[in-house]
Structures are given as C-alpha cells and as structure tokens.
C-alpha cells in the first residue's frame, strides 16, 4: 500500500529528560521522521506553535503528504492536572478494596457518553491507568489516561467523523467532564477548508477556562491547524497541580528547532537555545 500522508503531533513531555531516543528533543524526532517520510511530495514540515510567554504549553507537529488531503477534521486534546476524584476512577482498586474493570471505568468516567454511538475497546492497567480505542463508521477515537497525582494526564483524539453532525464545543465539554483538568489544549486540524468544517473552524469557548493562546498554522496539502490552550481560572493559585508541574519547568526546556531546507520552519515559539542550536549547526537535514 503506498503511503499517502503522515502526521506526528504532541504537546510537551512532563519528563523530557526521561525520554529515550529519538524523543529527547523535537529536532531529534523530526530528523527520525524525515528519514522515513521526508521523501513524500511535500517534504517533511515541522512546526512548534504556542505563546513564547508560556514555554510549558507548546504544540509540536510534523506533517508530510504525497497528495492534497480529502476533507477531514481531527481533534486532539491534552489535559493535565486532572481532578483527583475523577482521576480516582482509573485506579483498579479503591481505598475500600473495591476493584474496577475497564468497562466500568468507561461508564463511570463518562467516556461512554462522549460519542455514545462509538464501539469501545477499553483496557485497564495495573495498578492504574486506562486506554481505549473506539470506532463508528469512518470515525476513530482514542483515549489514554495517566491518573497518578502530581503528573496526571489524559489525551483524547477523534477523527474521520461528520463535522456537521457533531458540535465542537459540546464534544469538548463532554471530554472535560470526564477528567476535570486544570489545564488543557485543543488542536483542530482541518482539511478541505473551513467551510465544510462547520463549528470546528471557530474559536472554542470553554466556559470556566480562560484561553491563554490561539494560533493558526497552515499545513501543506491544504490543511489548517487551529491550536488553543486553556487554564482553569481557579487553578491560578498555589497548591494546584500546576504548582507541582512547576518543579519540572527546567526539564521542560525542550530544544525544539524544526528545520526544512536547512531553515527553521514556521517557528512561532522560539527559545534562545533553539537559535543557538541552529547556529552551532546541530540541526541539519
């Protein structure tokens, strides 16, 4: 089967120094991806987007394609600082000795209600953690939950759905209800133009969360990426999960300097180290 397109995307690593190669920096990841996919017609295209004032909230994306893409919408959410009570659902054994299996976690958390038509294949980890993949017609969805306090994290992704049949804001609210994060980001990738993307091409209004940042980035193949990050207003105080994450701020300084044709490609969030790395000639294609 010939390869049509590839997209690799992620937010920030909570423990970047614990990552094995090639995940020690985004530039290393991009170099590895280019070895496999750089030969596609668009070449490898790498972007780091976000607000330079918030180095802990960056979105990394690599994209390469052979053809212009078919119309499609893709949503990716990264959530940190999960509500402790909601996160406790993803521990197999509770304090009173009650054990919960993956099927029950899917129901109790509200995951089964995000898109009720989805057929879900779920999995529980020992002693905690949860993953699921789900399908319905051409739609695909996946969730991964790390519920441990101090570095709790959940990701949600859905693609291949009918953008006119699902409302962006309502879907995001149903996901947030499952996890109650203190911070989260949404990355919506649209192919085929905003016109067919209905509510998905618009700015997200997320109730009790403040939007810190919104960035739009065009992609090759006619794509558009709309990235927004949010913080819960009440979490801007000491003692929150955010203050725990603060301990890892230095570790979070990833050397993200994607290159294309020897140049930094559309780097909207640029740290000093990145420029130095490029000057030193470390980043070569």
Only segment of 80-88, 114-122, 128-136, 254-262 that touches ligand SAM (CB under 6 A):
128-136
The single residue among 28, 51, 104, 148 that binds ligand SAM, judged by CB under 6 A, is 148
The single residue among 144, 173, 174, 177 that binds ligand SAM, judged by CB under 6 A, is 144
β partners of residue 77: 156, 186
- Told to check if 8 binds ligand SAM by CB under 6 A, we report no
d(CA 218, CA 64): 13
Which residue's structure tokens are 């090639």? Answer: 22
Contact string 32-71 vs ligand SAM (x = CB under 6 A): ----------------------------------------
- Told to check if 156 binds ligand SAM by CB under 6 A, we report no
Do 225 and 50 meet the contact criterion of CB atoms below 8 Å apart? no
User: At closest approach, how far in Å is the CB of 125 from ligand SAM?
Assistant: 3
For residue 113, which of 19, 176, 26 has the smallest C-alpha distance?
A: 176
β partners of residue 114: none
d(CA 273, CA 285): 18
Which helix (H) or strand (E) segment holds residue 136: the answer is strand 130-136
Burial 44-70 (b: 16+ CB within 10 A, else e): bbbbbbbeeeebbbbbbbbbbbeeebe
Nearer of residues 148 and 216 to ligand SAM, judged by Cβ: 148
User: At closest approach, how far in Å is the CB of 200 from ligand SAM?
Assistant: 23
User: At closest approach, how far in Å is the CB of 142 from ligand SAM?
Assistant: 8
The single residue among 128, 187, 204, 264 that binds ligand SAM, judged by CB under 6 A, is 128
- Told to check if 146 binds ligand SAM by CB under 6 A, we report yes
Could you list the residues that contact ligand SAM (CB under 6 A)?
125, 128-131, 144-148
């Amino acid at each position: 089967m010939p390869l049509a397109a590839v997209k690799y995307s992620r937010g920030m690593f909570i423990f970047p120094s614990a990552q094995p190669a090639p995940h020690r920096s985004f530039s290393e990841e991009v170099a590895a991806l280019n070895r496999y996919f750089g030969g596609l017609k668009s070449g490898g295209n790498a972007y780091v987007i976000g607000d330079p004032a918030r180095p802990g909230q960056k979105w990394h994306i690599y994209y390469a394609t052979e053809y212009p893409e078919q119309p499609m919408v893709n949503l990716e959410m990264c959530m940190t600082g999960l509500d402790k009570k909601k996160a406790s659902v993803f521990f197999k054994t509770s304090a009173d000795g009650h054990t919960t299996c993956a099927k029950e976690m899917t129901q109790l958390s509200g995951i089964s209600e995000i898109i009720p038509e989805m057929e879900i294949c779920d999995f529980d980890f020992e002693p905690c953690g949860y993953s699921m993949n789900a399908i319905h017609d051409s739609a695909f969805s996946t969730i991964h939950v790390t519920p441990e306090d101090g570095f709790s994290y959940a990701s949600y992704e859905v693609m291949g759905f009918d953008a006119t049949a699902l409302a962006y804001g309502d879907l995001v609210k149903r996901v947030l209800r499952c996890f109650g994060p203190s911070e989260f980001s949404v990355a919506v990738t649209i192919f085929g133009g905003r016109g067919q993307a209905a509510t998905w091409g618009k700015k997200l209004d997320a109730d009790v969360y403040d939007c810190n940042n919104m960035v739009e980035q065009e992609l090759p193949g006619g794509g558009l990426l709309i990235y927004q990050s949010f913080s819960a207003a009440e979490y801007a105080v000491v003692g929150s999960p955010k203050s725990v994450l603060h301990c890892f701020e230095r570790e979070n300084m990833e050397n993200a300097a994607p290159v294309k044709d020897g140049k930094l490609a559309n780097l909207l969030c640029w740290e000093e180290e990145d420029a130095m790395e490029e000057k030193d000639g470390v980043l070569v294609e």
